Amino acid sequence: MKPNYFQQRSDRNRAKEQKKQEKLQKREEETARRKAERETPREPQNS
């Protein structure tokens, strides 16, 4: 059977885009978490 290079390339590009989106979403979540931590004032530690 002859390989379908266009389909294989599409599958690779789809997987690459999905991984890119997951990475972007993770970065946005981390940014939102850090921003929330920064905005909530913490009690000063007395040591």
What is the rounded distance in angstroms from the CA atom of residue 9 to the CA atom of residue 6?
5
Residue 4 structure tokens? 């379908």
Tell if the pTM clears 0.85, that is, is over it.
no
φ, ψ for residue 34 (rounded to 5)?
-65, -40
Taking only the tens place, the pLDDT of each residue in 4-15 is 999 999 999 999
So what's the pLDDT on residue 13? 98
